Amino acid sequence: MTDSPRWFTSSYSSNGGNCVEVATNVPGTVPVRDTKDRDAGTLTFRADSWSAFVQFASHQSV
């Protein structure tokens, strides 16, 4: 188990302030938080669910 999450934003983020951060170094889960309010808490997803979400989102047109 890791000591603490290593947070990062997507390389596709335009740094406009409407981003989420994720940590992929937590075994079996992916915590997600809002960059505008990091102290508000996190949502935690199963790693396989997060992977499916990212795959789905990457195939959607904007």
Q: Distance between CA atoms of 7 and 31, rounded to whole angstroms?
A: 9
Assess contact for 32 and 41: CB atoms under 8 A: no
Instruction: Answer yes or no: pTM beyond 0.85.
Output: no
**pLDDT tens for each residue of the chain, 62 residues long:** 456 899 998 777 776 667 889 999 999 999 999 988 999 999 999 999 999 998 998 888 65
| Residue 39, helix vs strand vs coil | helix
Q: How far is CA 26 from CA 9, 32, 43, 46, 55, in A?
A: 16, 11, 13, 10, 20
Structural domain spans, the chain: 7-58
**Burial class of residue 34 in the structure, from the number of CB atoms within 10 Å of its CB (0-12 exposed, 13-18 middle, 19+ buried):** middle
